[in-house]
Structure 1
Amino acid sequence: MSDQDFVIVDEEKDSEIPQEKENRTEDSRKEVVKDAEKEREDDDGYEKICFICHRPESVTGKMIDLPNHITVCPDCMQRSFDAMSSSPLDLGKMMNMPGVQFLNLSDLEGMQPEAKKIKKKKEKPKEFPELDIKNIPAPHKIKARLDEYVVGQERAKKTMAVAVYNHYKRVATNTMDDIEIEKSNMLMIGPTGSGKTYLVKTLARLLDVPLAITDATSLTEAGYIGDDIESVVSKLLAAADNDVERAEQGIIFIDEIDKIAKKKTSSQRDVSGESVQQGMLKLLEGSEVEVPVGANSKNAMVPLTTVNTKNILFICGGAFPDIEEIIKERLQKKTSMGFNSELKDTYEHDENLLSKVTVEDLRKFGMIPEFLGRLPIIFTLKGLDKEMLVKILREPKNAILKQYQKLLALDEVKLDFDDSALEAIAEKAMEKDTGARALRAIIEEFMLDIMYEIPKDDNIGEVTITRAYIEGTGGPVIRLRGQEVPALNG
């Protein structure tokens, strides 16, 4: 009889378990919904800031809420627990000691200045196209797109198109069999203002990959004042919205690479020259590096993540001033007598002298052989002559003249430039010797008065910039709607 009773009890108990479980699940679901609704009500549109390290929630991850509206990030909370657990003091005993009073959280509110509020960014769905060999544009298509934005530099554009196409074929197929394809890292050599940075920006926009542009002048050996070498990778990670996989398929452009050449006459430790080249070897070749998330330098308050650089394309650029003298010296080593003799001034006025650069010339300049070996594709950009500067003003898709014409078109005014005026602007830019950068500054100077005066008069319909205006001997030709009037004073 007792056995039967036990069976009945057990059956009743079992029959109640699913119902109880269902009730508990429903209660917990309601609690979660209630908490989410409360969180939405309390959301004021600003990010929560960690009370200790002052980093926002978008960088640290979900905050821990403490009483009196104090929020602490998980990193700082963990470090606090670690410090307490490793402390030789027994906090449990101290709680009961007479005269010992622990800090009240309400007292913390006035102890630190209030952190600056950061507005929450509206979340946009990230749609990163998957890299597929069929989607990679062919070299002739890459060059055609570069032609739309960059004038001249045909050899450089063709070299870049082929190198980038081969690199992303390697990344997309992940070829790691018996025949391993090496990276197509590039070194661009060209005078200032010849379009090095602009080429890379256009390339990254065309391929829709993250791009980080950094300056080698700020890089120093680890432990010294300046940016660590890994900071170039952390900039790429930031450009990829902290998406490691996307960052590992990006492009890093290191400008002013000639500034980390070996210092020839320096008795001090070369912390910004050869040592930086040595430190960059592992990055260029491909290795796993730990980089800070949301900061440029490593410190105790910043979380780290690992990025593999084997599929990151590195493009280095530099003006390499005075390298022409090294090239000239090498070319003039031939005998000055006999049938094969050459005059000493043969290469004195050679406009294409830079294109004759070799790895040996770069090594003499101060770049170490191991560094140059990891940049297999070396090409040069020509200095800009007057004809190229005129084309830069007029032809590219976003040419400077087209920008000003669009600005005045918004005021229903037509803007024209005489051919002679463009030549005058190019001549002035040649005098400054800063390449295409000088064009914008010159046009800004001459367009200032026009942009100021035009909105005053609704009757003005057309403005023509003349050579006389550029040279300061006359003014622009102003036409009212349907008639011509005397030129304004410049």
Structure 2
Amino acid sequence: MDDPQKLNLTPQEIVEYLDGYIIQQQDAKKMIAIALRNRWRRLQLPKELQEEVTPKNILMIGSTGVGKTEIARRMAKMMGLPFVKVEASKYTEVGFVGRDVESMVRDLVAASVHLIETEEKQKNQSKIEDLVIERIAKKLLPPLPSSVSDTKKEEYALNFEKTKEKVRGTALDNQKIEIELDKRALEGDFNVPPEIIKVQESLTKILSKGTEKVTKEMTIKEAKDALRHDVSQAILDMEKVQREGLERARQCGVIFIDEIDKIAVSTKEGSRQDPSKEGVQRDLLPIVEGSTIQTKYGAISTDHILFIAAGAFHLSKPSDLIPELQGRFPLRVELESLSEEIMHEILTRTKSSIIKQYQALLKVEGVDLVFEPEALRELARLSYLANQKTEDIGARRLHTTLEKVLEDISFNAARYSGQQVVVSKEQVSEKLKGLVEDVDLARFIL
């Protein structure tokens, strides 16, 4: 397997990147960074030793909204790793209606194949674009018969190049043409067992026999998008893409299992056992321990997939998980609750803070949104207070409070077009203070 280019990052570089998006939680960042670095270290070992080194799975403990999912999601995106986030509470024990736990592995393989396909498309972007332009140009200017004179051929070649340039631009985007596309096969659902996938593929062969191509009328702009997929499927070695996707998922895949506390059987429930919850844990165990799962693209061993589980554990504790599953998550880290100061830093220091997002959204309508420093302080204070008085939802509270503060400005954005709108501390207080102080009202609105 080709080593993913971004996998060779030091733990310090990984933490530095995460610092731009997640405030505090240094212990969790450090643990994740070491786990990822160990994956690169393992790939440098001799093949026989590589198979012996298994990843140390991580259990993250912390309230909702403190950054558990964001840490995992950001690091996977940064390093180009196949990554899926699943919720443990969505699975059911084998034999019951619902998603089976093996579907998380099939989701990971599908994400990995898509990742490799995207990378290959980027490498061949100019070639794909040239072929798309050429196919559309041939529709607008059909090729001449071979019997015409050389003069006619030269004249055609000149006109063809001019047509290609027009197609490459936007001048002809609204013109309608008929294009022929490969008929999309009936795709198997990655979340169903392989035997069902085989039935679907058999049906596809029967139903699509003799109808591999379909002609559609669309604008040239639409045709460009449709043909990009068509052309890329033709020039990319899809078998190789699928092989590499399967291998990258096996060697570098990360599965983030959220809400794992929801399948723990709390000792507070007394001697009563929940067979459904415990059944999901037992179904999950062989996947985390290492087993072979059949997918649409072939069999995959889960021995070297990194599993990161997370949960709030408000009503249960990690020891309420079955002992065998506890043992498969040897690394544990507790994330700290968000203080008022951390809430303020989330608003002001992160690279993609919701303040910057809202400013960019309103800029589309010509509104220059500005927050006074004290307004942001007050927003952080009241958001923190709302978390203390009602359910603590961490940084997600900032989304609800900010939305409440800006709802009138956002609704009347057209009226403020071309103006600078300043949000003051007094405005924030006026919008939120009464709601925060009235606990019953805050439960419904904030």
TM-score class, shorter-chain normalisation, is 0.5 to 0.7
Tell me the alpha carbon deviations over residues 41-60 of structure 1, each in whole angstroms, 9 at most, x when there is no partner.
xxxxxxxxxxxxxxxxxxxx
Tell me the alpha carbon deviations over residues 402-427 of structure 1, each in whole angstroms, 9 at most, x when there is no partner.
11222233344432212222222223
Partner of 2:247: 245
Partner of 1:418: 372
Tell me the alpha carbon deviations over residues 259-293 of structure 1, each in whole angstroms, 9 at most, x when there is no partner.
111254488873432222222222112221224x3
Partner of 1:469: 427
Q: Which amino acid aligns with 2:247?
A: E
Tell me the number of residue pairs that the alignment of Structure 1 and Structure 2 aligns: 295
Check if 1:388 corresponds to 2:388.
no
Q: Which amino acid aligns with 1:150?
A: I
Partner of 2:93: 221
Q: Which amino acid aligns with 2:394?
A: G
Higher RCO (C-alpha under 8 Å, 6+ residues apart)? 2
Query: Per the alignment, in what secondary structure is the counterpart of residue 315 of structure 1?
Result: strand
Classify 1:273/1:457 alpha carbon distance in 2 versus 1 (closer, same or farther; 3 Å): closer
Q: Which has the larger radius of gyration?
A: 1
Q: Distance in 2 between matches of 1:408 and 1:270?
A: 50
Q: Distance in 2 between matches of 1:185 and 1:473?
A: 44
Which residue of the other structure, out of 61, 64, 84, is the alignment partner of 1:189? 61
Question: Where does 1:76-91 land on structure 2 (aligned, <5 Å)?
Answer: none
Question: Where does 1:1-40 land on structure 2 (aligned, <5 Å)?
Answer: none
Q: Distance in 2 between matches of 1:473 and 1:287?
A: 54
Partner of 2:331: 377
Q: Which amino acid aligns with 1:244?
A: L
Query: Per the alignment, in what secondary structure is the counterpart of residue 371 of structure 1?
Result: helix
Check if 1:176 corresponds to 2:134.
no
Tell me the alpha carbon deviations over residues 302-334 of structure 1, each in whole angstroms, 9 at most, x when there is no partner.
xx84211112111000000046xxxxxxxxxxx
Whether the aligned pair in 2 keeps the contact of 1:131 and 1:172 (CA below 8 Å) is no
Q: Distance in 1 between matches of 2:379 and 2:292?
A: 49
Which residue of the other structure, out of 427, 432, 436, is the alignment partner of 2:395? 436
Classify 1:234/1:146 alpha carbon distance in 2 versus 1 (closer, same or farther; 3 Å): same
Classify 1:290/1:135 alpha carbon distance in 2 versus 1 (closer, same or farther; 3 Å): closer
Q: TM-score, normalised by structure 2?
A: 0.61
Which residue of the other structure, out of 266, 286, 289, is the alignment partner of 2:290? 286
Query: Per the alignment, in what secondary structure is the counterpart of residue 384 of structure 1?
Result: coil
Question: Where does 1:248-259 land on structure 2 (aligned, <5 Å)?
Answer: 248=250, 249-259=252-262
Classify 1:468/1:310 alpha carbon distance in 2 versus 1 (closer, same or farther; 3 Å): same
Q: Distance in 1 between matches of 2:262 and 2:29?
A: 24
Q: Distance in 2 between matches of 1:318 and 1:137?
A: 28
Which residue of the other structure, out of 291, 305, 313, is the alignment partner of 1:320? 313
Aligned-residue offset at 1:181: 2.3
Query: Per the alignment, in what secondary structure is the counterpart of residue 261 of structure 2?
Result: helix
Question: Where does 1:49-448 land on structure 2 (aligned, <5 Å)?
Answer: 130-131=2-3, 135-171=7-43, 173=45, 175-177=47-49, 180-241=52-113, 243-248=245-250, 249-262=252-265, 264=267, 265=269, 270-291=274-295, 293=296, 305-322=298-315, 362-363=318-319, 366-430=320-384, 431-432=386-387, 433-448=392-407
Aligned-residue offset at 1:175: 4.9
Query: Per the alignment, in what secondary structure is the counterpart of residue 150 of structure 1?
Result: coil
Give the CA RMSD over aligned residues.
2.6
Q: Which amino acid aligns with 2:286?
A: K
Check if 1:450 corresponds to 2:409.
yes
Q: TM-score, normalised by structure 1?
A: 0.56
Aligned-residue offset at 1:172: 5.4
Tell me the alpha carbon deviations over residues 233-273 of structure 1, each in whole angstroms, 9 at most, x when there is no partner.
11112212363223222110000001111254488873432
Q: Distance in 2 between matches of 1:194 and 1:403?
A: 19
Query: Per the alignment, in what secondary structure is the counterpart of residue 65 of structure 2?
Result: coil
Tell me the alpha carbon deviations over residues 121-172 of structure 1, each in whole angstroms, 9 at most, x when there is no partner.
xxxxxxxx92169951110011011011111111111111111111332245
Query: Per the alignment, in what secondary structure is the counterpart of residue 163 of structure 1?
Result: helix
Whether the aligned pair in 2 keeps the contact of 1:255 and 1:317 (CA below 8 Å) is yes
Q: Distance in 2 between matches of 1:469 and 1:140?
A: 41
Q: Distance in 2 between matches of 1:443 and 1:148?
A: 21
Q: Which amino acid aligns with 2:326?
A: L
**More helix by proportion, 1 or 2?**
2
